[in-house]
């Protein structure tokens, strides 16, 4: 059975268009509630959201759907996605629900779920929910209806959790840090975390109005952070996305560091502290330079499909603690069960403070290979795998690159686009090779 509604990270779309409509979301919560009730015993669900204006509407629909299935609801208000994962586990709830479309514009929204252990749920659970959606609703009797309440100190609990992941022997005193929360879920939380650890904080992207999430700020628009770091002569800049599960970092010189570099930094820091790091997980998009640098330090490297859930699956398969994506999703399973932009940022700053070295110095041995990415729009129904010219062009480029680069061709999971990526030590070579492959793909 294939999934009709669930994608790689929950259910997402444009608000007002199926499936992100209040009637469907009510049905979804009712179906999830019925799946939970089959486990027996009292069921409690936590609901958090980001700052999109549609969050109020979808929150009400979720609340009603769960209550109608006999499930109690605890409303967390605007908190980061990883905060929901943490609080679900800490409060022994049955399920955590996040209303967010992450880095997307405000007109989009989505629903994603965490297990009682604060982890992403397996495909089998999503299939069970979709099966329940296909059945008519079964309202519980009035005496069995779920109740709802609000957790007033959700943000404070999560702030303390974030701080607990930072070394007790260290402080951020003496550092000026620009914090950009993308006008998103961490707009109140992120500045407090760094301030309470001693940093002088300059906050940008911390004034949400329901419509400005991810708009010109945050991890997907780092130019604002680079400019603010320069204007305030800050030591570091930290940019989160709308739901604060991904991270970009800028140093005082305005250099931007992506998730690939930060993953290497986390591994190197653990090794410097005499911790055993047998391996790390990236994705098919992870820069080849990082793979080579890790292997040079005796650290095995495995690539997963794009998406933090697939990175996590590989980490569990190998029993490894560290993984991440170039987008800034970083996973440290000895710190949190899911990707967390704030916790990741603290680990990066801890590596710098603990070593007494800058990010540039810690990453001096890693020079990223140039990557050229071209999106080729396909006609509906096109089977790019059957394109002989594309196959021939790809083989020719791979032969040309040898072991000094690589080619990656993959279909987008959200639009009719073929993504052609070529990586090489020379930028001009990568660009030329990608253009040849893209031309062949277009026919």
Distance between CA atoms of residues 429 and 372, nearest Å: 9
324 plus 430 within the same structural domain: no
Question: 262 and 251, same structural domain?
Answer: no
Q: Does 1 reside within a domain?
A: no
The reported pLDDT for the residue numbered 3 is 81
Residue stretches of the chain with pLDDT short of 70: 1, 413-414
**Domain membership of residue 346 as a residue range:** 257-362
Residue 432 domain-assigned (yes or no): yes
- Compute the distance between CA of residue 417 and CA of residue 328 in angstroms, rounded to an integer: 23
Helix (H, G, I), strand (E, B) or coil at 12: strand
pLDDT (0 to 100) of residue 403: 85
| Per-residue pLDDT at 41 | 83
What residues have CB less than 8 Å from 70, skipping those under 6 apart? Answer: 33, 37, 43, 140, 144, 145, 146
The answer to whether residues 323 and 425 belong to one domain is no
Domain match, 33 and 103 both: yes
Q: Cα angle vertex 73, ends 68, 78, to 5°?
A: 130
CATH number at residue 319: 3.40.120.10
Do the domain assignments include residue 3?
no
Contact 134, 242 (CB under 8 A): no
Given 362, 391, 424, the domain boundary residue is: 362
Do residue 129 and residue 82 come from a single domain? yes
Same domain, 101 and 219: no
Paired residues of 112 in beta bridges: 98
Residues 31 and 46 in one domain: yes
* 31 falls within a domain: yes
Query: CA–CA distance from 426 to each of 238, 244, 351 (Å)?
Result: 30, 34, 31
Read off the CATH number of the domain in which 404 is found.
3.30.310.50
- Are the CB atoms for 29 and 43 separated by under 8 Å? no
Domain's final residue, options 316, 344, 362: 362
CA-wise closest residue to 241 among 80, 51, 103, 48: 103
One domain for residues 148 and 200: no
Residue 6 domain-assigned?
no
Over the stretch 165-195, which tens digit does the pLDDT of each residue have?
999 999 999 999 999 999 999 999 999 999 9
32 neighbors 46 (Cβ within 8 angstroms): no
Query: Can you read off the two tokens belonging to residue 26?
Result: 């009510």
For residues 209 and 190, what is the distance between their CA atoms, to the nearest angstrom? 17
Q: 3-class secondary structure for 228-287? A: HHHHCCCCEEEEECCCCCCEEEEECCCCEECHHHHHHHHHHHHHHCCCCCCEEEEECCCC
Residue 5 domain flag: no
Q: Kindly give, in sequence order, each residue whose CB lies less than 8 Å from that of residue 104, ignoring residues fewer than 6 positions away.
A: 12, 110, 214, 242
Domain edge (last residue) among 255, 290, 315: 255
Please check whether residue 2 lies inside any domain of the structure. no
In a domain? residue 321: yes
pLDDT for position 284: 92
Same-domain pairing of 118 and 167 = no
Active site residue 100: no
Number of folded domains in the chain?
A: 4
**Both 220 and 299 in a single domain?**
no
Q: What is the pLDDT of residue 414?
A: 64
Task: Report, in angstroms and rounded to the nearest whole number, the Rg of the chain calculated over CA atoms.
Answer: 22
Burial class (CB in 10 A: 0-12, 13-18, 19+), 28: buried
In tens, the pLDDT along 291-303 reads 999 999 999 999 9
Instruction: Verify that 262 and 145 share a domain, yes or no.
Output: no
Q: Any idea what DSSP says for residue 387?
A: -
Q: Which of 100, 102, 115, 327 is catalytic?
A: 102
Q: Are residues 299 and 340 in the same domain?
A: yes
């Amino acid at each position: 059975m294939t999934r009709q509604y669930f994608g790689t990270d929950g259910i997402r779309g444009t608000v007002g268009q199926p499936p992100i409509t209040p009637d469907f979301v009510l049905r979804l919560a009712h179906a999830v509630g019925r799946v939970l009730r089959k486990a027996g015993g009292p069921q409690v669900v936590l609901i958090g959201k980001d700052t999109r204006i549609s969050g109020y509407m979808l929150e009400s629909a979720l609340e009603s759907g769960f209550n109608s299935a006999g499930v109690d609801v605890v409303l967390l208000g605007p908190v980061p996605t990883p905060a929901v994962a943490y609080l679900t586990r800490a409060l022994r709830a049955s399920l955590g629900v996040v209303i967010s479309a992450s880095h997307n514009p405000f007109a989009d929204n989505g629903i994603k779920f965490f297990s009682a252990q604060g982890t992403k749920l397996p495909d089998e659970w999503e299939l069970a929910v979709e099966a329940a959606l296909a059945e008519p609703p079964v309202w519980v009797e009035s005496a069995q209806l779920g109740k709802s309440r609000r957790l007033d100190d959700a943000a404070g609990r999560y702030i303390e959790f974030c701080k607990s992941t930072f070394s007790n022997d260290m402080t951020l005193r003496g550092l000026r840090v620009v914090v950009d929360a993308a006008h998103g879920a961490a707009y109140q939380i992120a500045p407090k975390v760094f301030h309470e650890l001693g940093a002088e904080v300059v906050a940008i992207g911390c004034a949400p109005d329901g419509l400005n999430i991810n708009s010109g700020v945050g991890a997907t628009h780092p130019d604002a952070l680079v400019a603010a770091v320069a204007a305030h002569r800050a030591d570091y800049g930290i940019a989160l996305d709308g739901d604060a599960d991904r991270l970009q970092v800028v140093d005082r010189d305005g250099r931007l560091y992506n998730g690939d570099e930060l993953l290497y930094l986390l591994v190197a820091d653990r090794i410097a502290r005499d911790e055993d790091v047998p391996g790390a997980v990236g994705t098919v998009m992870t820069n080849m330079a990082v793979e080579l640098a890790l292997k040079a330090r005796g650290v095995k490297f495995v690539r997963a499909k794009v998406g933090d859930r697939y990175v996590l699956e590989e980490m569990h398969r190998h029993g490894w603690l560290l993984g991440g994506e170039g987008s800034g999703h970083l996973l440290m399973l000895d710190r949190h069960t899911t990707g967390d932009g704030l916790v990741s940022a603290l680990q990066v700053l801890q590596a710098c403070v603990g070593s007494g070295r800058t990010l540039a110095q810690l990453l001096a041995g890693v020079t990223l290979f140039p990557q050229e990415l071209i999106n080729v729009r396909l006609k509906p129904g096109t089977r790019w795998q059957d394109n002989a010219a594309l196959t021939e062009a790809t083989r020719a480029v791979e032969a040309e690159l040898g072991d000094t680069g690589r080619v990656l061709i993959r279909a987008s999971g959200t639009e009719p686009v073929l993504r052609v990526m070529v990586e090489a030590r020379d930028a001009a070579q990568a660009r030329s090779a990608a253009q040849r492959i893209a031309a062949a793909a277009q026919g």
